[in-house]
Chain A
Amino acid sequence: MRIIDEQKPLSRASRRQSMSEIGFGRMETYTKLDKLGQGTYATVFKGKSRLTDNLVALKEIRLEHEEGAPCTAIREVSLLKELRHANIVTLHDIVHTERSLTLVFEYLDKDLKQYMDDRGNMLSMNNVKLADFGLARAKSVPTKTYSNEVVTLWYRPPDVLLGSTEYSTQIDMWGVGCIFFEMACGRPLFPGSTVDEELCLIFRVLGCPETPLPVASVSDTLLSRAPRLHQDAISLLTCFLAYEAKARVSASDGMRHIYFKSLGPEVHLLPDVASIFSVPGIQLSPDPSISKSSKNRRLSMLL
């Protein structure tokens, strides 16, 4: 093993120079079209790149003169730069001026809700992509503590709701479970509007943290709320919705769950940047379930 890194000369500056000559990093390269949405820290516009004629999403962040680049932007950009994945939105460019910072993303024409509403004409093989990493943190070790105001309330796990600030990747696995349910049913699992209400909704399904309900009864409740999910899906869902963070299934173990078995072994060999639809035999199809006979068919992606 080498533990001495060779010093290699960086060509970063010269590379950027040539990128800039063709128009990257400059606002003139992009035409602003309609406004798509406004958040507390940014406004998102639909736009068009004059370099490629492609549609882009422009996330415009206003800069407070005395504070420089906001921490959310620093985290979002530097984390996204290292992520290249078929299911993660691509950051094409950054335009940094004195008054604003604009992140140029690939344009996604629907959010998840609209995507699911359009299931009817599902023949297009669009990938679902993750976007908006403004609240993302680098994967870290559990010793480090953050504020407990993380994660959108509906997807926040009970340990964090109850004040825990020691967490790691397991915090996201609870959210994965909530969204899995939501994608299958078209409505959120725990749509609380306050922390107390959120906890109440969770307790109603899982029981109190001190006296949690047995898995079988949790499964029954979930099944009655999500009749479209079959046994394997419910079993996976209960693996995500564990009170104790440590007991939640990890992402890589989750992918080996029997629920995904019908996708075949090829999906585990898929390179990061390849779409799941590049695996032969996998395609979106109208949900065949309701009738329970569908278990051995290629899994319909319940999107």
Chain B
Amino acid sequence: FQLGYRSDLVDWLRCVADKYKLCTVTVHLAVFLMDRFMDHHSICESKLCAIGLVCLLIAAKFEERDNRLNEVKEVLNCNFREGLVTLEHLVLSWFDWTINFPTAGHFAEHYMRHAVLPSDKNPTRMSEHGLRQTVIGSLMDYLNMSLKAMPLLVVRGSAVAACCLLAARRRHCLSPSWPPPLASITGYTRSQLAEPLRILLK
């Protein structure tokens, strides 16, 4: 039954993360931890937000730059701090402290540098830099969408990130949309990405 709340929870976590300007990898890791944890626990409705928040905090403590951690503490102080420490203890020990999972967010950071290639035909009137920023913006949008597409939960993070990049490049009519260098950087051919892409754009 928790699955019914997942979409709202993801939205809410993103709002909290946006408010405190936490980075994309943090949000993706948080959602990943939350999904894993919820798969193996049945959690009462009133505790769902707290679990989500704890996952966000753990992810932020792992991923965020040190100079951003004061903001993380602020999130903690603004939200029911009582019990949160106990919950964090519970979640960390369930994961046995192994929480560095590479998510689509991590792979996207890596692919981002190759969002636009020198060989691409630029159909717009934007400068190369402008085009790059626009494609990266779309990549981020698709990446956010991917968090809520439940069938993508069983697809590897690297494949999800690759299909988000493919979707972004298609949207801005870069051609070819999936040239050989991208296939070699990501390790996925165009046809391997067809299925996740279909799910993402549904």
Contacts and interface: CB of A to CB of B under 8 A. Distances in A.
A and B form one complex:
yes
Interface of A: 1, 3-5, 7, 10, 12-13, 16, 65-71, 74-75, 77-79, 81-82, 94, 96, 98, 138, 140-141, 143-147, 149
Interface string B30-71: 000000000010000000000000000110011011110100
B70 to A, nearest CB: 11
A65 B154 contact: no
Given A3-B196, A144-B109, A10 B40 contact: yes
Contacts of A78: 62, 97-100
Interface of B is mostly: helix
Nearest to A67: B73
Given A4-B155, A16-B93, A78-B97, 17 more contacts: A1-B188, A3-B159, A3-B196, A12-B95, A66-B85, A67-B76, A68-B89, A69-B61, A69-B88, A74-B97, A75-B62, A81-B97, A82-B98, A140-B106, A141-B109, A143-B113, A144-B109
Assign chain B's interface to a size class.
35 or more
Contacts of B25: 144
B112 interface: yes
B156 interface: yes
A58 to B, nearest CB: 16
B98 A81 contact: yes
Nearest 4 CB-CB pairs, A to B?
A: A71-B61, A77-B97, A68-B88, A3-B159
Contacts of A98: 89
B65 A96 contact: no
Nearest to A66: B81
B16 to A, nearest CB: 16
Contacts, number: 95
Nearest to A145: B65
Interface in B129-178: 154-156, 159
B77 interface: yes
A147 B96 contact: no
Contacts of A79: 100
B94 interface: yes
A16 to B, nearest CB: 7
Contacts of A66: 76-77, 81, 85
Nearest to A91: B97
Nearest to B101: A78
Contacts of B179: none
B65 A146 contact: yes
A101 B25 CA distance: 26
A247 B188 CA distance: 30
Nearest to A76: B97
A3 B192 contact: yes
B187 interface: yes
A213 B88 CA distance: 53
A77 B62 CA distance: 11
Listed residue (A3, A12, A74, A82) with the most chain B CB atoms within 10 angstroms of its CB: A3
Contacts of B113: 141, 143
A248 to B, nearest CB: 19
Given A4-B154, A4-B155, A141 B110 contact: yes
B13 interface: no
Interface string B182-198: 00000110001000100
A66 B57 CA distance: 13
A81 B85 CA distance: 22
Nearest to A65: B85
A74 B92 contact: yes
Contacts of A96: 89, 92-93
A8 to B, nearest CB: 11
Nearest to B154: A4
A141 to B, nearest CB: 5
Given A13-B40, A96-B93, A82 B100 contact: yes
Nearest to B84: A68
Contacts of B109: 140-141, 143-144
A3 B153 CA distance: 11
21 contacts: A3-B156, A3-B192, A10-B40, A12-B96, A16-B93, A66-B81, A66-B85, A67-B85, A68-B76, A69-B58, A69-B89, A74-B61, A74-B62, A75-B62, A79-B100, A81-B97, A96-B92, A143-B109, A143-B112, A143-B113, A147-B66
Nearest to A148: B67
Nearest to B86: A98
A57 B188 CA distance: 45
Nearest to A144: B109
B66 A149 contact: yes
A188 to B, nearest CB: 25
